[in-house]
Structure 1
Amino acid sequence: MKRIILIALAATSLLLAACSAEKEAKSDASSEVITTEQAKEIAKDAYIFAYPMLEVYKTMYVQAIDKTSPDYKGEINKFHHMTKLLDADFTAITAPNNDTYYSFLWMDLNSEPLVVTIPAIPKDRYYVLQMEDINGLNFDYIGSRATGYKGGTYLVAGPEWKGETPKGIDKVFRSETPFNFMLGRILVRGKEDHKNVMKIINQYNVQPLSAFEGKAAPKAIKVDFPAYDAKKATSADFISYFNFMLNYQNIHPDDQKYFDEFVKIEIAKGNTFDKSKIKPEILKAIEEGVKEGHAAIIERKKTTGKMVNNWSFIGEAFGNRARMQDKNLLKAAGAATGLFGNDKEEASNFSGTLDSEKNQLNCSNGVKYTIRFEKGQTPPVNAFWSMTMYKLPEVLFIHNPINRYSISDRTKGIKFAKDGSLTLYIQSENPGGELENNWLPAPEGPFMLGLRIYYPKPAIYKGEWVPPTINK
């Protein structure tokens, strides 16, 4: 009996020693002695790395978690649709489009995967459902380009799911994180097309895997989402949000080199960030690093796009892990420019603020502009293109007498010249007659043009086709 007790005590001692060693190892890793300069640089790099996460989390929180938010769309794991073509009264988000309806699906895959069913869609109607994870990476697509028009039933699974693909599932999409966003867009040909589109999107369906299989649901994993606070997210407290999101994913092997440094300022899966336990001079250095990181993102944002004919093409700032790996500043600048940007193969977008002489576009004092596409040189697309007018600095639509916010290959009455060319008229005053068909109304002040090209042909994203200059 005495021997058994001694063995038990020895085992307990070993266990306590092991726990102590593990705790000490973790403490050593996270509290390694670093200089203030090192802390600042690590914080700068960590903030840049985390910035897309912070922005996606903010959007998820206000749209799907905080029911008191004016931007709340509805419950998580359910489809919600924006079924109105936006006009000049819409001011909720910048740079809206006037071409599609939107569908929103915020996903929490912690408890089990979701099954998404999309109906067959006519081949002349472009649609896409973009899937982006909490890290700001586009991990896959459903739509005209990616899966075709026949419709299908798809399973979306998080990192911990180890199940077999059930019968009736056409494709499985795997995400590195349990928190993801599915953003749908579907072409709408004016208000008269509303009923046709509603027949389609009302058939979009999402359900838990257990419901799809007719089985009992697994025990739900409750998540305590921290309230989003913009001040905290742009201070040393961003680490609290970062650690929260790390708790729900595994560090990708390609990112381990970053986290080997980040842990030195308490960034690690399982960590709780407590400012009171950090030396004041180190905390101050972290705050300085966050400020420098934010400034670096804003500065990089100015050159995110590649300039072609004085248009900016930002197609390289969005994509999957393979495309965006180690491009942390570019990825952050892309998120700052506009969240949920598509892969360039799905949509290639250009923004124009300069004329052919590199002067700011501005229709004050009766200034007028034209854009001329030579014969056969309109954007080469598989779906459609549109050019949208935005007033600056708001980056919103403008009220105008013909209620036209964009002009496109679908604009009724648009006129090509006898030589096959197409000229668009960008001005405040109605040019009158048949020219009105090719008129995109502009504000009497500075503005930006957004050229959206959905499901582009390779010539566009390979740089073989570029938009013509905007001429005064």
Structure 2
Amino acid sequence: MVLAHYAKSHANHCVLAGQENDRDKQMNYCKKIYRMKPVALKLPALVGLLAVFLTPPSMAQHPLDIETVSDAYVYLLGRSIVIRQEHTDIAEPAVDYNVIKYNPVGSAEFVNPNLDVAYLEAWIAVDDKTPVLLEIPEIGDRYYTAQICNEWGDVIVNINERNFPSNPSGKFAFVAPGSKAKVPADAVRIELHSRKAKMLARVELKTNTEEAIALQKQFKLRALGEPVIEPATPIPEFGNKELLGVEIFDYAEPVLNSALDISPIAARMQARVHDIALQAKDKQHRDKLDTMIRTQVVPNFLQYAVTKSGVFKNNWLGTLGTGNYGSDYWMRSSANLVGLWANTNDEVIYFVATKDAEGQPLNGSNDYVLEFPAASRPDAVVDGYWSVILVDVPDYRVVPNSLNRFNLNSYSGLKFEPDGSLRILVAKKPNAKVPESNWLPSADGKGFSLTLRTYVPKDIVKRGDWFPPSLTKVAQ
């Protein structure tokens, strides 16, 4: 009777496990077993039969196809990257949850730095009873935003005068999902997607850095009590080029349980991750999985992340569709890998170039001209401001030069051509054909990348109808 009872239970499990293709076959077979009369079985025979049924259906029925494994891996990697960043951030001296880190202004020591804003960041951590209060100073006549991201990399909200016209400054209270905790009467209540969130706030420098810094320091964050804070989920260390192999699935359950995913296909994808994680426990499947991940899945994803995760035109990759990803977890994981905390397109769109008009890698040995017609200059397609920065590759660091000029932007005093067009020279030294004010220095003999940022882009940019022109190599 034990065997007959298990057969019925296993038949139900076959269906609940979602093995759609073999459902009828499995159910019919299990029903036959259930209808068997009890028979006397010796222990070895009973153990053998039970082993057949105890073999998880996902391991027994499904081959390891590259598409299924890739989708499960990429989905799980997106959350793992955010967890890795949480470990990195909290490990820094004097950094803690609900404490603002005021990044130094104008420092070029970071990878792919943003030299246009005063930056501040913090990890927000709440519980059901404890809100966290953010105070934003009154800011006029300059771009600013307090971007709040969830634990998967999606943007929850941007707090600024465009999204909160009645409350562009003042107090904002973050609460846990479904929390009924009281917040100050003069605070705007904002419900998070889980018990943690990342804040990245920016204040435009313009031409008065001291004023921007003063505003930066007026952002305040504090918990209204003592929230219970779970530590960052343990995961193995990994780099952006040396991504995890099959061992990523060993951590699937705690990683997926650590934060709610608002994606409409989260349940389906998490079921797929659990299926692969189950197969990874079997030695035979584990070795095959690891080989597939390291030789196919990871290289394919890395290639996708830098060439296909946005819109490619004029040899520029535009970050259209970032910030709120919906069902596109491939784009979300790609954005998390190459530019974690990407904002929504209403706030900013990035364009990244690593090749010239001929499709050749950009190199500091050559001279290039970036020429914008008068009607489509970057200042004409933004309601905020724009900038372009040069960094070397593969280090993504700014290039030292005698002018300490690492980027150009709306306030750089650029000179226009008589017809109103804008020409920018990217080269190791000035060229008489372009005004020196428009020269962006490169490193002789070294590859480089350009990133053009458009803040509060107009609809023409958000539709993908505007792209920077290709960089044209010119005679030196």
Partner of 1:435: 435
Matched to 1:410, the amino acid is Y
1:368 corresponds to 2:394:
no
* Aligned counterparts, 1:13-412, within 5 A: 31-35=56-60, 37-38=63-64, 42-64=68-90, 66-67=91-92, 74-87=95-108, 90=109, 92-93=110-111, 95-110=112-127, 112-122=130-140, 124-147=141-164, 150-163=168-181, 166-170=184-188, 172-189=189-206, 193-210=208-225, 217=226, 220-223=228-231, 225-226=233-234, 228-230=236-238, 234-250=244-260, 254-266=265-277, 278-291=281-294, 292-301=296-305, 302-316=307-321, 318-320=322-324, 324-364=325-365, 367-379=366-378, 380-411=381-412
Q: Name the CA distance, whole Å, in 1 between partners of 2:440 and 2:187.
A: 45
Judging changes above 3 Å, is the alpha-carbon distance between structure 1 residues 222 and 389 closer, same or farther for their aligned structure 2 residues?
A: closer
Q: Name the CA distance, whole Å, in 2 between partners of 1:195 and 1:396.
A: 25
Give the TM-score normalised by the residue count of structure 2.
0.78
Matched to 2:80, the amino acid is L
1:421 corresponds to 2:421:
yes
Partner of 1:213: none
Q: What SS class does the counterpart of residue 130 from structure 1 fall into?
A: strand
Between 1:234-243 and 1:397-406, the stretch displaced more is: 234-243
Give the TM-score normalised by the residue count of structure 1.
0.79
Which ranges in structure 2 are unaligned for 5 or more consecutive residues? 1-8, 18-54
Alpha-carbon offset, residue 75 of structure 1: 1.0
Q: What SS class does the counterpart of residue 414 from structure 1 fall into?
A: coil
Q: Name the CA distance, whole Å, in 1 between partners of 2:94 and 2:328.
A: 32
Alpha-carbon offset, residue 85 of structure 1: 0.7
Q: What SS class does the counterpart of residue 81 from structure 2 fall into?
A: helix
Q: What SS class does the counterpart of residue 195 from structure 1 fall into?
A: helix
Judging changes above 3 Å, is the alpha-carbon distance between structure 1 residues 352 and 75 closer, same or farther for their aligned structure 2 residues?
A: same
Q: Name the CA distance, whole Å, in 1 between partners of 2:343 and 2:81.
A: 16
- 8 Å contact 2:87–2:232 — kept in the other structure? no
Which ranges in structure 1 are unaligned for 5 or more consecutive residues? 1-20, 211-216, 268-272
Judging changes above 3 Å, is the alpha-carbon distance between structure 1 residues 228 and 131 closer, same or farther for their aligned structure 2 residues?
A: farther
- 8 Å contact 2:142–2:206 — kept in the other structure? no
- 8 Å contact 2:357–2:471 — kept in the other structure? yes
Alpha-carbon offset, residue 399 of structure 1: 0.7
Judging changes above 3 Å, is the alpha-carbon distance between structure 1 residues 435 and 296 closer, same or farther for their aligned structure 2 residues?
A: same
Q: What SS class does the counterpart of residue 429 from structure 1 fall into?
A: coil
Matched to 1:262, the amino acid is V
Q: Name the CA distance, whole Å, in 2 between partners of 1:288 and 1:162.
A: 49
Judging changes above 3 Å, is the alpha-carbon distance between structure 1 residues 234 and 385 closer, same or farther for their aligned structure 2 residues?
A: same
Query: Deviation per CA, 1:376-425, whole angstroms, max 9, x where unpaired?
Result: 321211111011112222222101111110111200x3212332222212
Q: Name the CA distance, whole Å, in 2 between partners of 1:263 and 1:374.
A: 53
Quote the sequence identity (%).
22
Alpha-carbon offset, residue 350 of structure 1: 0.7
RMSD of Structure 2 on Structure 1 (CA)? 3.1
Query: Deviation per CA, 1:33-80, whole angstroms, max 9, x where unpaired?
Result: 42472487654322210112111111110111x35xxxx561111111
Judging changes above 3 Å, is the alpha-carbon distance between structure 1 residues 31 and 131 closer, same or farther for their aligned structure 2 residues?
A: farther
Matched to 2:85, the amino acid is T
Q: Radius of gyration: which is bigger? A: 2
- 8 Å contact 2:427–2:439 — kept in the other structure? yes
Judging changes above 3 Å, is the alpha-carbon distance between structure 1 residues 423 and 63 closer, same or farther for their aligned structure 2 residues?
A: same
Q: Name the CA distance, whole Å, in 2 between partners of 1:229 and 1:393.
A: 21
Judging changes above 3 Å, is the alpha-carbon distance between structure 1 residues 254 and 157 closer, same or farther for their aligned structure 2 residues?
A: farther
Judging changes above 3 Å, is the alpha-carbon distance between structure 1 residues 33 and 384 closer, same or farther for their aligned structure 2 residues?
A: closer
Q: What SS class does the counterpart of residue 46 from structure 1 fall into?
A: helix
- 8 Å contact 1:31–1:265 — kept in the other structure? no
